[in-house]
Amino acid sequence: MQRYNILHRTYYNFSGLVSLGPHTLRLRPREDHDLRIESSTLTITPPASLLWHRDVEGNSVAVATFGLPTNQLVVESEVVINQYNETPLEFLVADYAINWPFTYQSDDTLLLGPYMVIQENGNRTQLDEWILNFCQPGERIETYTLLNRVCTYIYQTLNYQIREEPGLQTAEQTIAYGTGSCRDFAVLFMEAMKSLGIASRFVSGYLHAKPSTDNFGATHAWAEVYLPGAGWKGFDPTIGKIVGTDHIAVAVARLPETISPISGSFVGAQGAKLDVGVWVTKI
């Protein structure tokens, strides 16, 4: 078991006095058999009323409402977790899915359908040709080997680039540009999986890594695929590895754009500056 302290600070500095609309916060890690929350503190300035719920994906969501005008919004989340996912390769895949291609059983297909919908963002010929780097028509290959090939190939052949501007590149754009952020690489991995008939979803969270020019403190993104018998397993194409102890998932979704850590609105003076700091520390 590994303990981590996660400190996530967000500052919105407005150009003048504003009234804040409701803000949706997805900052609390997902608890399951691999992860337990030991303590959690959420501090908001100006003061806010909080209502918690779980969304359709099972993510913990807080909705903050405000009563006072302000020229600054500060949200600070500090969480201590116990992470047990120390042997991510210890899992069993159902016999019929050990090798690819495979077909999900009918009950699973009903539930997994939304996670297999291919995003139509223009010409997919480029993505289909790119997938030929990993498997050829009619080829039969061990499923995990295929997943690992795709994950590693993205890491080895594309250049990671921090993109602070909002939005996502399509899979085709990431291939054409040869660069992308962690969220762009996750989208490319997801679309490749869906093209291969494997259900996938987007994950937003945190990664414990040594500070560097590419990691100065930020949220992180990767993808999960559904493997019969093993369940949802994470793969991180930004580092070319299966997800393990250093990954802390906060929210999952079929559509990446739906799970921003903080989203909301304001009325008043135009213009706002955003500053975010994230520190993930081993205890």
Look up the pTM and report it: 0.93
**Residue 99 and residue 210 in one domain:** yes
Q: Cα(first)–Cα(last) distance of the chain, in Å?
A: 11
The pLDDT of 177-191, averaged and rounded, is 95
Question: Hey, what's the torsion of the CAs at 169, 172, 175, 180, to 10 degrees?
Answer: 10
Domain that holds residue 26: 2-84+260-282
Residue 138, SS3 per DSSP:
coil
Please say whether the beta carbons of 223 and 189 come within 8 A.
yes
Q: Phi and psi (nearest 5°) for 60? A: -80, 125
The DSSP code for 216 is S
Q: Which of the four pLDDT bands, split at 50, 70 and 90, describes residue 136?
A: confident
pLDDT of 102 higher than 80: yes
Q: Which of the four pLDDT bands, split at 50, 70 and 90, describes residue 225?
A: very high
Neighbours of 63 (CB within 10 A): 15
Q: Which of the four pLDDT bands, split at 50, 70 and 90, describes residue 215?
A: low
The counts of H helices and E strands in the chain are: 5, 16
The pLDDT of 63-88, averaged and rounded, is 94
Distance of CA 77 to CAs 64, 178, 207, 251, Å? Answer: 13, 34, 16, 15
The total of structural domains in the chain comes to 2
**Residue 21 and residue 54 in one domain:** yes
Looking at every residue in the chain, the average pLDDT score rounds to 92
Check residue 142 and give its pLDDT: 96
Percentage of the chain surpassing pLDDT 70?
A: 95
Residue 11 belongs to some domain of the structure: yes
Q: Phi and psi (nearest 5°) for 66? A: -125, 150
Q: Is the peptide bond before 46 cis (omega within 30 degrees of 0)?
A: yes
Please say whether the beta carbons of 212 and 221 come within 8 A.
no
Q: Which pair of tokens denotes residue 106?
A: 């009918």
Residue 167 belongs to some domain of the structure: yes
pLDDT of 217 higher than 60: no
Residue 251 belongs to some domain of the structure: no
Check residue 271 and give its pLDDT: 83
Residue 255 belongs to some domain of the structure: no
Give the position of tokens 């997902």. Answer: 30
**Residue 141 and residue 195 in one domain:** yes
Alpha-carbon distance of 92 to 64, in angstroms, equals 41
**Residue 212 and residue 163 in one domain:** yes
Check residue 122 and give its pLDDT: 59
> ∠ at Cα 84 (79, 87), nearest 5°?
140
Q: What is the pLDDT of residues 2-28, one digit of tens each?
A: 999 999 999 999 999 999 999 999 999
Residue 239 belongs to some domain of the structure: yes
Please say whether the beta carbons of 28 and 69 come within 8 A.
no
pLDDT of 257 higher than 60: yes
pLDDT of 213 higher than 90: no
CATH of the domain at 170: 3.10.620.30
